[in-house]
Amino acid sequence: MTPTIPPARVYVSADALAYEVAKELMKLTISHTSDRPFAIALSGGSTPKRLYKLLAEEPFHSQIPWDNIAFYFGDERSVPPDHEESNFRMARETFLDSVPSASYRMEAESGKAEAYASLLEDHLPKDESGVPTFDVVLLGIGADGHTASLFPATQALHESQRWVVMNEVPQNNTVRMTLTYPVINAAHHIWVLASGASKQRIVQGVFAPTPSTPNWPICSVQPTHGSLRWWLDPEAAQGATID
């Protein structure tokens, strides 16, 4: 089956990419009229840092309705919340500490995946299959085609029931907590942010697939009823034909 090519846009720079994502996020949160907090699953790594820092600055900080937004995490490393590798620490330091929104850390260091799944059960609306639905899931991609902590050749790729799992990643000699495809794919908006030359191979494979293109974990991010969109900078998009 020919993989579907997701909608994508190439921005003039990584800064422009981050600014446009912040603008679109602000638009969605302002137009969210429900009393239920707008639910965003944050990505870790370095790519989203520009975006997160922008959210703490003007014109976004004073316009975004922070009190009706709740932040969750797409994945977390098995480290304490103050560890330099913690996605929670990165998000806290870049913007969460400067906004009044609720945020829900993944306690990956204690392996409490079921507890986080219960949190999603309690806080998020469900789709027709009973799967918790985020308003926005932010994702990055690794040079090996992983996303969140869904790494190639790991068990979590095959998880079709549980919404949050601890995933052993032998190639990185680590165990991480991650949302699984059922939850990621149930989101209303799935945004993949890719910036930098190290993403070129994956971007080329996704936007110009050939029979030999590996089935990377990011390729199984396919929205069940929402939308998927890639946000790219020129370095990541180089060599790919993006309409």
Under a CB-based contact definition with an 8 Å cutoff, are residues 228 and 177 in contact?
no
Binding residue (CB under 6 A) for ligand 6PG from 8, 21, 26, 74: 74
| Per CB under 6 A, 200 contacts ligand 6PG | no
Per-residue interface string for the shown chain with ligand 6PG, residues 169-188, x marking contact by CB under 6 A: --------------------
Q: How far is the CB of 128 from ligand 6PG (least distance, A)?
A: 28
Q: Strand 174-179 and strand 75-77: pairing?
A: antiparallel
Q: How far is the CB of 106 from ligand 6PG (least distance, A)?
A: 10
Which range, of 5-13, 25-33, 41-49, 182-190, touches ligand 6PG by CB under 6 A? Answer: 41-49
| Per CB under 6 A, 140 contacts ligand 6PG | yes
Binding residue (CB under 6 A) for ligand 6PG from 94, 147, 180, 200: 147
Under a CB-based contact definition with an 8 Å cutoff, are residues 191 and 231 in contact?
yes
Q: Which is nearer to ligand 6PG, 75 or 135 (CB)?
A: 75
Q: Which residue is nearest to ligand 6PG (CB)?
A: 140
Q: Which is nearer to ligand 6PG, 32 or 53 (CB)?
A: 53
Distance CA 142, CA 138 (A): 14
Label residues 127-146 b or e (16+ Cβ within 10 Å = b). beeebbbbbbbbbbbbebbb
Chain residues that interact with ligand 6PG, rule: CB under 6 A: 43-47, 74-75, 87, 140-142, 146-148
